[in-house]
Amino acid sequence: MWNKNPLEQTQRRITILFWIFLALLIVLSLRLWQLSVLERERYQLRSEQNRIRISPLSAPRGFIFDRNRQVLAEDLPNFTAVFVPGTVNLEEAISGLEQILGRTISTSPRERSSGEMVLVDNLTIEEVIRIEQAGEKLPGILIETFFARHYPLSEVTSHVVGYVGRVSAEELSQGKSADYSPDDFIGKNGVELFYEDILKGKKGYRRMEVNALGKVVSVLENVPPRFENSLVLTLDSEFQQFCYQLLEGKKGVILVGDPWTGEILVMVNRPAFDPNALSRGVTQEEWKEISLDPGFPLTNRAIQSLYPPGSLFKLLIAFSALEEGAVNEKSVFSCPGYLDYNDWRYWCWKRQGHGRVDLVSAIAQSCNVTFYNLGLAVGPDNIRNYAQQFYFGRPSGIDLPGEKNGFLPSPLWKRQNLGEFWFPGDTINLAIGQGYLLVTPFECWQMISLIATQGIKAKPHLLLKVLDAKGEEIWSFTPQIEDKIEAQPQTWNLIHQGMRQVVEQGTGYACRGLPVNGKTGTAQNPQGEDHSWFGGFFPREEPELAFLVLVEHGGDGSGEAAQLSRKIVEWWIKNRGGSE
Amino acid sequence: MDFKKPLVIAALVLSILGIFAVYSVDPFRGQGLVWSSFYGRQIIWCLVSWVWFLLIIRIDYQTLIKYGWWIYLLVIFSLIAVLIVGEVDETGSRRWIFSRSVQPSELAKIGFIIFLTRYLVQRVEEFDTWALFFKVAALGAIPTLLIFFQPDFGTAIFFVIISFLALVLSNFAVRRLLVILGMGVVASFISWFFLLDYQKERLLSFFAPQRDPLGSGYNVIQSLIAIGAGGLSGKGWLSGSQSQLQFLPARYTDFIFAAWCEQFGFLGGMALLVLFGVLIWSMFNIALECPNLEGKFLTSLLTWIFVFQIGINIGMNMGIMPVTGIPLPFISYGGSSLVVNLTAVGIIYNVAQSKGEEDWEPIL
Ligand SMILES: [Zn+2]
């Protein structure tokens, strides 16, 4: 039906639609009138009789244990005075409670999802008894047991275990609302966050009938919360504590792990934070103080901070040069103390020179000139490829949130981002782990670990076992070989020899006499004193452990980092019956 | 008469009332952390979306209509993208992209309306023909089915209703419209047999929430009690015998109307209804006043975004509509719906700006 004047007809249709809308609006208004005026008394009565309250009950979180079942995180009971809405108002209830307790309540009430207000946390047993005895004189007040997270080792395991906090508005609006109410705790960092879904228990709820004073008359239905799973971590908490003390008064990282299985035994960062305080809840000022602390106590430096690796990177350059055929066991270099290249003079750290050196002693002496030459022979793109094989700049897959990855520069990157060509000087810097290159301590630990196993890559992990509520093992980690770096046996051999010489005759003299293969590193730092690195593994054959020490502003690698490494290895041999 | 003023004033007052409404039920209100609370976020979203509104009104609606086909393709593309790479929310639906910040089916509503306008105004000679009906049905079915399978039934139904209203505006004869309605009923019965079991389950709980007695049935009862207990003038700001509706789940989103009515009673509820009435009355008048067909189509279809949400949300708060999780425009907590609503208001504003007939007498 073709229409002569569609505009006019459409105009009529719009008018009709408007009347339909108006009818809808009138229906809604009438319904509102019906509910709030005509049936008001009925609903007001129902609202007064509405004494059935559903109260969700927060579930206790699972334990976190170390590998020897030492407790790293547990839930302690927290007795709380809760206001249940009834005929008394909140102010009356608070003043009544203040009289009984004999102190003023300074914190503002916190709402629970069911409509109850938490007035005071952390009541003592005596206070609980006093409130219970007051009984009818305190209408509307209930004692409830909540759980507070406690970390016995506090700062020592803070970065790995993490902490919990009350679920935030953001988390609630991001899809957690189904499982959490605003009063619940949720993992905020570390293992607590990463394994939140395993650690959180099963929530319960209670349907209660309350009398006119808001006191519970009867519990109609009680579905208690259920404690569910606990975690056993790969950490060795005694070893962790020892390493934590080693870094007393310093800033740095210690990592120790089994290179064959990827189990992390020690992950220590300093400065650290108090997870007990954070989990209890801190004020805005306290939070500001912690998060703006120039020492970055909240940062898990091991996986989140980037540093130049310094001479530690020479191991990777040696590997690349051997695999590319740029050097072999017979090659000899001469170090006059500097390298002249394109009108520039690049100095060795030892200005009087190392004289004639082969690859093994170049590693042992950490001779820069030799590595300048090797780096130039291999080239920046090859170096980048080999570094990626060693998992630099790639996610390690460790079970912690917020891992950062290192940065591997390349000529293409420099041209695109800085608009400059890649100069031979850039390669020379790269060859000694300086310049644009940045890595995380964990990536360095992985490189040491890959050298220890001669290329076998196990997936690094912190979770060893999952236990059910009865403590029975329901899951345990089976080591996974993720990857293997293929190389000639002689390549591994020469690098191992070089690392042995580091300890026996070279820059790692602090570890002399121990069955350790290692490498020192000194990362130049424009902001102050150099960072000191030491990475290694022991025993030399069949290595049990790979370790890495970083001391910020610790001077050169032969100093602080190597001295701490000696203590770490000695502790292990003494306390965990190391070999030899 | 200038309808831009009542349009903007109603929207502005409603979005400010929304902040107060969210504040009054915010579980994080007492904690002193303004910006991590719901109302703090609502304030930020309000500012952001009003700035966005000021940008939108500068875009000529004729330009939008010109790109109708491209917008349609973009809508289809983003809905497919959601099905493939979208993130699943707590209801198990795959609706979100970009870390749950964008819900494409929300913006798709506006895109689809722009496209329908473009498509239909170019086919005035085909108005009220079966051929045109089948073309509209086919073009509408693609996005509708994509949304249906997220699944987001509320929005899918909205797409069907909008397509039908577009036919109404295209002067289809009443007889023909009735036949189309009948075909729709038959088609939905047939398609029931092609649905998988879990899809049937979801549809049933969408239309009959009382199947889950501890779930939304409980919510509706609490909502009715709250509205009734509010009485004529309410229990007052931040108070109420239900202790501020602390029984009521989702009271800062789906059931915010009930929370409002407990505090401000019948009069407060009527104030909201009147404000919505003024908003939509202005929109209808802008549609009627606009001299060209495309402006009329665009404005009246966009208007139904609001009519649909207001009808379903307030209806569900008062127990006469199924509980569906459709928010109340401007009042419910939530940034993305605020942005979409103000986008629609902005486009309508632009239609009103392009001068119409001076001597237009407003309806009512
Ligand atoms: Zn040298």
- Is pLDDT larger for residue B238 or for residue B164? B164
Q: Does position A98 have pLDDT exceeding 90, yes or no?
A: no
Strand partners, A347: A338
Q: Is A315 exposed, middle or buried (0-12, 13-18, 19+ CB in 10 A)?
A: buried
Out of A440-449, B179-188, B229-238, which region has the weakest mean confidence (pLDDT)? B229-238
Q: How far apart are CA A221 and CA A245, in angstroms?
A: 51
Give the nearest chain A residue to B270 (CA atoms).
A29
B333 secondary structure, DSSP code: S
CA distances from A190 to A279, A398, A459, A470 (A): 13, 11, 18, 25
Which residues of chain A lie closer than 8 angstroms to B273, CB-CB?
Answer: 25, 28-29, 32
* Mean pLDDT across A133-162: 85
Strand partners, B313: none
Q: Mutating which of B29, B31, B274, B299 best tests the A interface, going by the most A Cβ atoms within 10 A?
A: B31
Ligand 1 mean position, distance from CA A337 (Å):
5
Other C-beta atoms closer than 10 Å to the C-beta of B255 total: 26
CA distances from B102 to A178, A254, B87, B333 (A): 20, 42, 10, 15
Name the residue facing A9 among B171, B273, B276 (closest C-beta).
B171
- Run of H or E residues at A148: strand A141-150
Strand partners, A457: A483
SS3 of A369-436: the string is: HHHHHHHHHHCHHHHHHHHHHCCCCCCCCCCCCCCCCCECCCHHHHHHHHCCCCCHHHHHHHHCCCCC
- Residue written as tokens 């990362």? A523
Q: What is the pLDDT of residue A199?
A: 93
- Ranges of H-type helices in chain B: 4-24, 38-56, 61-66, 68-85, 104-121, 130-148, 153-169, 174-192, 197-207, 218-230, 256-289, 293-317, 335-353
Which residues of chain A lie closer than 8 angstroms to B270, CB-CB?
Answer: 29, 32
Q: Mutating which of B88, B247, B332 best tests the A interface, going by the most A Cβ atoms within 10 A?
A: B247
pLDDT-derived band at A168 (thresholds 50, 70, 90) equals: confident
Question: Cα–chain-centroid distance for residue B195?
Answer: 26
pLDDT tens-digit map of A441-477: 999 999 999 999 999 999 999 999 999 989 899 999 9
Q: Is A478 exposed, middle or buried (0-12, 13-18, 19+ CB in 10 A)?
A: exposed
DSSP A264-319: EEEEEEES---HHHHHH---HHHHHHHHH-TT-TTS-HHHH--B--GGGGHHHHHH
Instruction: Give whichever of A171-185, B184-198, B239-253 has the largest mean pLDDT.
Output: B184-198
* Mean pLDDT across A194-222: 74
Q: Does position A295 have pLDDT exceeding 90, yes or no?
A: no
Angle of helix A424-431 versus helix A380-389 axis, rounded to 10: 30
Q: What is the pLDDT of residue A180?
A: 80
- Is pLDDT larger for residue A3 or for residue A360? A360
**A53-233 under CATH 3.20.20.140, yes or no:** no
pLDDT tens-digit map of B72-128: 999 999 888 888 876 665 455 566 555 555 577 778 899 999 999 999 998 888 888
Q: Does position A80 have pLDDT exceeding 50, yes or no?
A: yes
CA distances from B262 to A240, B229, B269 (A): 57, 6, 9
Other C-beta atoms closer than 10 Å to the C-beta of A350 total: 15
Give percent of chain A with pLDDT exceeding 90.
61
CA distances from B278 to B12, B165, B309, B326 (A): 12, 21, 16, 21
Give the strand pairing for A185-187 and A463-467: unpaired
Q: Is A462 exposed, middle or buried (0-12, 13-18, 19+ CB in 10 A)?
A: buried
Q: Taking CA B145 as the corner, what is the angle to CA B143 and CA B150, rounded to the nearest 5 degrees?
A: 95
Q: How far apart are CA A475 and CA A328, in angstroms?
A: 47
Give the nearest chain B residue to A45 (CA atoms).
B229
Give percent of chain B with pLDDT exceeding 70.
81
Q: Distance between terminal CA atoms of chain B?
A: 13
User: Omega of the bond prior to A539 within 30 degrees of 0, cis?
Assistant: yes
- Is pLDDT larger for residue B104 or for residue B330? B330
Ligand 1 mean position, distance from CA A358 (Å):
11
Ligand 1 mean position, distance from CA A369 (Å):
5
Indicate the SS3 state at residue B234.
Answer: coil
Residues 6+ positions from A133 with CB-CB distance below 8 Å: none
- Which tokens hold the place of B190? 């047939």
DSSP A193-260: HHTHHHHS-B-EEEEEEE-TTS-EEEEEEEE--B---EEEES--HHHHHHHHHHTTTS-EEEEEE-TT
B360 secondary structure, DSSP code: P
Q: Mutating which of A7, A8, A10 best tests the B interface, going by the most B Cβ atoms within 10 A?
A: A10
User: Omega of the bond prior to A308 within 30 degrees of 0, cis?
Assistant: no
Domains A53-233 and A237-286+302-576 alike in fold: no
Question: Cα–chain-centroid distance for residue A22?
Answer: 57
- Is pLDDT larger for residue A190 or for residue A42? A190
Q: How far is A96 from chain B (nearest CA, A)?
A: 19
CB contact under 8 A, A284 and B32: yes
* Mean pLDDT across A164-173: 80
Q: Does position A2 have pLDDT exceeding 70, yes or no?
A: no
CA A469, A473, A475, A478 dihedral sign is positive
- Run of H or E residues at A362: helix A359-365
Ligand 1 mean position, distance from CA A374 (Å):
13
For residues A530 and A522, is the Cβ–Cβ distance under 8 A?
yes
Angle of helix B335-353 versus helix B4-24 axis, rounded to 10: 170
- For chain B, give the mean pLDDT: 83
Q: What is the pLDDT of residue A331?
A: 93
Give the nearest chain B residue to A168 (CA atoms).
B36
CA A462, A468, A473, A477 dihedral sign is negative
Q: What is the pLDDT of residue A409?
A: 95
Which residues of chain B lie closer than 8 angstroms to A110, CB-CB?
Answer: 30-31
A526 secondary structure, DSSP code: T
Q: Does position A173 have pLDDT exceeding 60, yes or no?
A: yes
Q: How far apart are CA B290 and CA B296, in angstroms?
A: 6
Structural domain spans, chain A = 53-233, 237-286+302-576
Which residues of chain A lie closer than 8 angstroms to B246, CB-CB?
Answer: 85, 111, 113-116
pLDDT-derived band at A212 (thresholds 50, 70, 90) equals: very low
- For chain A, give the mean pLDDT: 88
* Mean pLDDT across B262-283: 95
Q: How far apart are CA A391 and CA A398, in angstroms?
A: 12
May I ask the CATH architecture of the domain A237-286+302-576? 3-Layer(aba) Sandwich (3.40)
- Which tokens hold the place of A149? 């997270």
Q: How far is B29 from chain A (nearest CA, A)?
A: 9
- Which tokens hold the place of A493? 């051999």
Q: How far apart are CA B93 and CA B149, in angstroms?
A: 9
pLDDT tens-digit map of A104-129: 877 777 766 555 678 888 888 888 88
Give percent of chain A with pLDDT exceeding 70.
92
Q: What is the pLDDT of residue B15?
A: 95
- Output phi, psi for A556, to 5 deg: -80, 165
Q: What is the pLDDT of residue B362?
A: 64
* Mean pLDDT across A546-574: 91
What's the whole-model pTM score?
0.63
Which residues of chain A lie closer than 8 angstroms to B31, CB-CB?
Answer: 108, 110
CB contact under 8 A, B171 and A116: no
CB contact under 8 A, B229 and A40: yes
Exposure class string for A21-51: b at 16+ Cβ within 10 A, else e = bbebbeebbebbeebbeeebeebbebbeebe
Out of A36-45, A155-164, B86-95, B262-271, which region has the weakest mean confidence (pLDDT)? B86-95
Q: What is the pLDDT of residue A227?
A: 85
Name the residue facing B273 among A1, A11, A29 (closest C-beta).
A29
A157 secondary structure, DSSP code: G
pLDDT tens-digit map of A316-374: 999 999 999 999 999 999 999 999 988 889 999 999 999 999 999 999 999 999 999 99
* Mean pLDDT across A78-93: 74
pLDDT-derived band at A415 (thresholds 50, 70, 90) equals: very high
* Mean pLDDT across A538-559: 89
Q: What is the pLDDT of residue A332?
A: 93
Which residues of chain A lie closer than 8 angstroms to B265, CB-CB?
Answer: 36
pLDDT tens-digit map of A48-69: 666 666 777 788 899 999 999 9
Q: What is the pLDDT of residue A454?
A: 95
A506 secondary structure, DSSP code: S
Q: What is the pLDDT of residue A115?
A: 59
User: Omega of the bond prior to A271 within 30 degrees of 0, cis?
Assistant: yes
- Among A307, A288, A305, smallest CA distance to A404 is for A305
Q: Mutating which of B94, B129, B130, B225 best tests the A interface, going by the most A Cβ atoms within 10 A?
A: B225
Q: How far apart are CA A123 and CA A100, in angstroms?
A: 12
Residues 6+ positions from A157 with CB-CB distance below 8 Å: A72, A151, A235, A237, A240, A275
- Ranges of H-type helices in A4-147: 6-33, 40-49, 90-101, 125-134
Q: Does position B243 have pLDDT exceeding 50, yes or no?
A: no
Q: What is the pLDDT of residue A338?
A: 93
Q: Taking CA B342 as the corner, what is the angle to CA B339 and CA B347, rounded to the nearest 5 degrees?
A: 125
CB contact under 8 A, A40 and B228: yes
- Is pLDDT larger for residue B243 or for residue A435? A435
Q: What is the pLDDT of residue A1?
A: 41
For residues A160 and A101, is the Cβ–Cβ distance under 8 A?
no
Q: What is the pLDDT of residue A580?
A: 41
